[in-house]
Amino acid sequence: EPEVTQTPSHQVTQMGQEVILRCVPISNHLYFYWYRQILGQKVEFLVSFYNNEISEKSEIFDDQFSVERPDGSNFTLKIRSTKLEDSAMYFCASSVLDRVFQPQHFGDGTRLSIL
Amino acid sequence: GIQVEQSPPDLILQEGANSTLRCNFSDSVNNLQWFHQNPWGQLINLFYIPSGTKQNGRLSATTVATERYSLLYISSSQTTDSGVYFCAVMNYGGSQGNLIFGKGTKLSVKP
């Protein structure tokens, strides 16, 4: 079964540094998402992306975050100047064109640790 | 926005026992998914079930959309079932497609 793949599985970064989290969605999917889970808390929506632009973003997704689909397969989340509170598990997800009545498929996540 | 409430928040079982996890939501939904988060943090998709009943081995799920709840049944539990179970919904006619997660049920299965 096709999978969403995320790299790296664990990223350790100094506060203030830029970090890029990478995702390869399932090949025939056209809707892409990033979610975040702070340790011990629930999963929260960050941003959705379709047709090379942001469809929706949450209040968490402020100016230090950006997303990009640099080529036909990768989908990236960039955090420009990391803060301690950015430490979390970040999940990428994708769904097919008609995202209504279709499940979202999640990757295994990237654990981001800010020192 | 839509509210998702899961119960119980914590559940401890002996291996072999059965359990029912509940998810209540406050508005109509067009997507409901159940996930198992394992000790390594991975989110494993269990069911996509906006309505009706599905079964997969020892697990089954039922969603009664008109009454705004979903149930996840685990039968003959095993220690590998331990972890956190999340319900996530997408609001019908609402946002562009983000899932809204509950706080989860933490399940511990003792040998």
User: pLDDT tens across A33-47, in order?
Assistant: 999 999 989 999 999
Question: Which of B 59-88 lie inside 8 A of A, CB atoms?
Answer: 86, 88
Full DSSP string of A1-13: ----EEE-SEEEE
pLDDT digits (tens, 9 = 90+) for B23-61: 999 998 888 999 999 988 999 999 999 999 999 999 999
Q: Which two tokens stand for residue B15?
A: 């291996």
Encode chain A (115 residues) as per-residue pLDDT tens digits.
779 999 999 999 999 999 999 999 998 898 999 999 999 899 999 999 988 999 889 999 999 999 999 887 899 999 999 999 999 999 999 998 655 668 899 999 999 999 9
Residues in a beta bridge with B20? B73
Interface A–B counts its CB contacts (< 8 A) at 64
CA distance A97 to chain B (A): 11
